[in-house]
Amino acid sequence: MKSTGIVRKVDELGRIVLPSELRKSLNIEIKDSIEIYVSGDSIVLKKYFPSCIFCGEAENTEIFKGKNVCMKCLKQLSKK
């Protein structure tokens, strides 16, 4: 992992602020969703991209009955 040299404190409610430089460089906008992972003793934050519930593809997804489904899987579903 690459260190940014940026340090932030956790507030009383457990929140941290992501610096604007990081948000801009990672294309994170207001109201975007962030995934939180644990890797060993590290916390990893990643911009969330909805993916297909069947194959995990994140490109060209559509919402089908409230679930994210990619076009390839959607075509397979429509054949049945």
Structure confidence at residue 52 (pLDDT): 92
Structure confidence at residue 65 (pLDDT): 86
d(CA 31, CA 70): 23
Do residues 48 and 33 touch, judged by C-beta distance below 8 A? yes
The burial of 52, by beta-carbon neighbours within 10 Å (0-12 exposed, 13-18 middle, 19 or more buried), is given as buried
- Judge whether residue 80 has pLDDT over 70: no
Structure confidence at residue 3 (pLDDT): 76
Q: What is the largest CA-CA distance in the chain?
A: 53
User: Which domains are seen in the chain, by residue range?
Assistant: 1-48 (2.10.260.10), 50-80 (no CATH)
d(CA 65, CA 68): 8
Q: What is the pLDDT of residues 20-49, one digit of tens each?
A: 999 999 899 999 999 999 999 999 998 888
Do residues 53 and 68 touch, judged by C-beta distance below 8 A? yes
For range 52-75, the mean pLDDT: 90
More confident residue, 2 or 45: 45
